[in-house]
Structures are given as structure tokens and as C-alpha cells.
Amino acid sequence: MKTSPAAPAAHVDRLLADVIQLLGRPLPPEYERALRTVPRHLFLPDRLWLRDGEGGYRACDRSADPDGWLTAAYTDTPLVTQFTDGLPSSSASMPSMVLRTLLLAGIGDAGREARPPRVLELGTGTGFNAALLCTILGDDAVSTVELDPVLAARGEGNLEAAGFAPALSCGDAAAGWPSGAPYERVVATFSVDRVPSAWVEQTVPGGRIVTPWTSAWCRYGTLALTAGRDGTAHGRFHAFASFMPMRRPCQDTAGPAAAPAQHKGVTSLSPWLVAGGDLDAEFHLGLAVPGASFAWDITGEHAPTRLHIADDEGPSWAAVDYDGRCADRFAVIQAGPRLLWDEITAGYTRWETLGRPRIGQYRLSVNTAGDHTLRVETGRGSTGITIPEKLSRPSGPSGSSGSRWSSWSGRPGL
């Protein structure tokens, strides 16, 4: 059995209890062994950023607060480990979400297979997830890819210090890792808004692909696919996890566009219905209105409360204003070639017509051309959903944090 520097027993016991409580069931023995074997604190930098309860982060330094830092290391919570351009760009995910993703991928079935499945991890990050995989499956079964050279070197150092040696490569995870293919399991540690074709191509028939999901509107959900013999993949979404989006190599971006003409109107659809925290509605809108993101403005500059909507790749935007008095009629401004509020209204109406489906009712298929086809299972059977073309095209360069309007508040109440 591989040996590594021990984790503090009391801290691990508390972490295990928190993980089991959140998952609602005991962990398989190999998972509990992995969580006890892999010392999480060895995979964290000396400075962490923790949620401050007000929408921001506070720094936690090991040198200044060693007890607080160690407690954070063994708390079932995400820990930001890197900022880029003032925004979070890498994090250590919640251990419970890491383990739940591995369970969904069928990693827990390893002991019942003839040999350990070959696993491709996409996004090495701190190396903690790769270490768990190595503990469960063995080093030879695990390959991991990291885009950021700094993170790749740091992750490799963390793994070596803890006594693990998976095959680690530095490259664009969207391309998978052909030299180690094919794989029985492909597991991403970041979220995507489409499944790269390379992932399907590098997965054996019957193999599993598991990745957190994102859209500009809603970063939530996990997709689990099974690869077919014909080069396709089919599966469904699961209602858990919110991960940072996939980062891509830097690309040139277009310069600023001319200010678009504005159109004013009135709506009876409450902005809180589409952006107030109903994850089922927001998940649907993320699929139905690709590229549209939102942020709440409660500065009072334009209205007591404004929902601002933007096209992440174009000049279009919209604003829905609550005047502080009337909660059934809201002023709307739309600008640009996309009438974003009209798209949001149509998407929300469609979601209601379908019976307000939950995230787990959505199924996704990917064909050999990389096209994505959605169906939603309702009480009336299965219904196809048209995916706008924007969702089917390759993702452009993505950041690693939330809305570009992050200085504003999130989801205020009436």
C-alpha cells in the first residue's frame, strides 16, 4: 500500500462525517480509504481564499493563521487557490463533490472489474483528485492533463510529495490526451457548455464521460454520458455541482463595437422568476438562450433594482428595472441585434409549457459531428428541445469566475 504523509486524524474524521452527511449515504470502503490516505493539506498552497459571506473572498495564510488554514483544508467547501486578473481562476473543489463525480463515473466499480479502468482526468489543478484516483485504481491507470503550466508543475510537485505518480501532461484538455487513449473513464474537474468531440473519440464503447456543466446563465449540473459503438455518446444531467468553467489557450478578441440602438418596453415577467435562484428554470434558460449572462445591480444608479443581461460575445444587452413599488410590471430596455429579454421570455414560457422540468429530466446526445441534441422527459413522454446554433459551436476562451459584472450584487429579494 502506498504511503504518504499522514493527514490529521481528527480533521479527516470531521471531513468524512461532513461528506457522508451531504451525500446521504456511506462511502464505499475504497473511497473512505482514499480520503484517509490522501492528505488534502499537501495539495493546497500556503495562501487560500475563502468565501467571506458577502459575495467576495478573504485570504487565509498558513503562516499567519496555521490552525485556521488547516481547518479550512479539511472542511467540505471549495477553496480558491489562484486568482488571475483579479478573478478566481483555479480552486480546490469540495471533497464531497469530487467523490460524487467519481461515483457517477463508476470509479467505485473498479474492484468488480477484471482490471482497473483507464481514467483520463481533465484539469489536474492541485492534484488532489488525481491522488484519490491513484489510491483507488493505482498510478498506472491514471492520466491527467492541465492547461496552465504553473498549475501543472505545482500539481506534479504535490503528487510527488504525497507519493503518487500518475501520467501528467500539460496541454489543452479540450483535446483530451490521445497518446494514452482509449479510456474507460473520462472525468473533467471543470465545467463545459459542450462536450468536445475528442473526449468521445477517446472513450471506449461503454465507457463513461462525466463533466460538470455550465452556461453563461447558469453554472450548475453534472452531465454523465456513455459512449456508444458508433462514435456517439448519450446520457443525462444530474442536479449537483458548480465548477469553474474550462479555460482555453488565449485567443485574440475583437475590438469594441459601436453602441447599439435601444428599444424600450414593459414586461409582466418578473426578473426574479428567471434569475432569482430557481436552478431548474435557470438551467433551462442557459440551454435556450446561449451566451446570455445576468447580474443584479442594486446600486440605485438606474433603478432601485435592475437585472442586467448581456450577450457574452456581442454588443446586445437588456435591462429589466424594478421601481421599488410595482411588482407585476417592469420597465425593459433592449439593445443590439439580439432582443435578449424576448429570448429569455420565450425560453421561460417554453419551460413552463414543458411542466417546469427539473435538471435530472434532461438528456443529451452527441453525434460523430459533435452536434448536441437535447430531450426532456416529461409526464407526457420525451420531448425534443431545439438547441440554438451557438451552443453547438466550440467554446471560445473562457474565464474562470462568474459574471463580468461581479462587482454587483447577486439575487436580491423584493
Catalytic amino acids? 90
**In whole angstroms, what is the distance from residue 334 CA to residue 261 CA?**
8
Cα–Cα nearest to 276, from 243, 244, 317, 322: 322
> Which runs of consecutive H residues, i.e. helices, occur in 79-122?
95-104
Q: Note every long-range contact of 353-358, with CB atoms under 8 Å and residues 24 or more positions apart, other chains counting.
A: 354/378, 354/383, 355/379, 355/380, 356/280, 356/281, 357/280, 357/284, 358/239, 358/280
Residue 97 zone, left/alpha/beta (φ > 0; ψ -120 to 50; rest): alpha
3-state secondary structure of 12: helix
Whether 257 and 317 have beta carbons less than 8 Å apart is answered as no
**C-alpha cell, 297:** 445591480
Per-residue cell: 39: 492528505
d(Cα 344, Cα 291) in Å, to the nearest integer?
11
